[in-house]
Amino acid sequence: MSVVADGSRALAPMPDDAARSQIRRRSRIRLYELVIWFLAVAAIIVLPSKMLILTEIAILALFAVSLDLVLGFAGIVSLGHTAFFGLGAYVAGLFARHYFAEPVAGLILAGAASGLLGFATSFLVLRGSDLTRLMTTLGIALMLGELANQMGWLTGGADGLSGFSLDPILGLFEFDLWGRNGYIYCLAVLFTSTMIARRIAYSPFGLSLKAIKTNPMRAAMVGVPARRRIIIVYTVAAVMAGFSGALLTQTTSFVSPDVLAFHRSADVLLVLVIGGTGYLYGGILGAIGFTLLRDWLSVVTPQYWMFWIGLLLIILVLVGRDRLAGWMQYLPGRLAQSRSSRS
């Protein structure tokens, strides 16, 4: 507070030191984050026979975290995020087959290619409403999928791209049949990318993204360069999605037009519905829940597993995640209370 000439009080802006201190408090590592990463590392020892499914979870989690950057923080709804995933997958496969089979180099090149596509298409998502963005992003993914299907001389067409092998990671760690090194590699990329995304989210840049998401017109009126912010975050998210696509190609030594299929965009949106948006770890938790639930339901009810996942989605939307969490805390307490009263 400050006193003006007429004796009244006026609100003074928050000092820079106080603002930086507040941002630092918000960006501190939480206990649940440490637990998640500890369990992910411990799985290498505890679950040696589950490396392949853990690798799949790590790749899907990275894909979901990349989408959460644009959806949860910038408020950009996209049905075509798989375009960056698929492009990264094909670039990594083509690079390994025709040029250089070192995984990290292919990963970086795939991310760069997806980032260029993200930058080029970011100007399209700046225009129109959410429905326009949905159709535009979906159209881009569908066009890339058709190109991959028709350009058989380059991509292998509907049969996919195979017949290539990868060198050891950094020349030291080979991809083994059990998938252990592949999981460690994917987990390292997921951790690094999540930490970068977290640094972006809990910075003044990330706070400005939330302001744009909440009220873009007001954010522009107070001087936030909304267009530039959206272009940057959309490009960064595209790079991370390209990383996830490249990881899928490198851990399976195969890529097909399926990486550009619509169901991948739908799956990653469902992952964020399950895990939540706007705090990055929703993508990781959602990927774990979605993959484990899908695999379990496909064994229990092979023909109807999608029905149960759809039912879960409807419950989450109609009831709400917060209310379900409240019920999960309320019901065990009531059961314990009833048991104690009977005894």
| Residue 296 and residue 326 in one domain | no
| Residue 296 and residue 308 in one domain | no
Domain count, the chain: 2
CA 102 to chain centroid, in Å, comes to 25
pLDDT confidence of residue 130 = 74
Residue 266 counted as domain residue:
yes
Work out whether the CA dihedral 161, 110, 203, 24 comes out positive or negative.
Answer: positive
pLDDT confidence of residue 7 = 45
Domain of 308, in residue numbers: 304-343
| Residue 246 and residue 334 in one domain | no
pLDDT confidence of residue 27 = 66
Closest CA to 240 of 39, 77, 81, 57: 81
pLDDT confidence of residue 328 = 44
| Residue 60 and residue 81 in one domain | yes
Residue 7 counted as domain residue:
no
Instruction: Report in angstroms the alpha-carbon separations of 90 from 73, 111, 194, 240.
Output: 28, 11, 23, 15
pLDDT confidence of residue 110 = 95
Q: Identify whether the C-beta of residue 242 lies closer than 8 Å to the C-beta of residue 234.
A: no
How far, in Å, CA of 2 to CA of 42, rounded?
54
How far, in Å, CA of 47 to CA of 306, rounded?
27
The 3-state DSSP class for residue 277 equals: coil
Per-block mean pLDDT, blocks of 10 residues, the chain (343 long):
43 52 69 91 92 94 94 86 94 89 92 95 80 85 90 86 84 81 94 93 84 74 80 94 95 91 88 86 91 86 77 72 50 54 57
| Residue 162 and residue 296 in one domain | yes
10 strand-pairing partners: 2
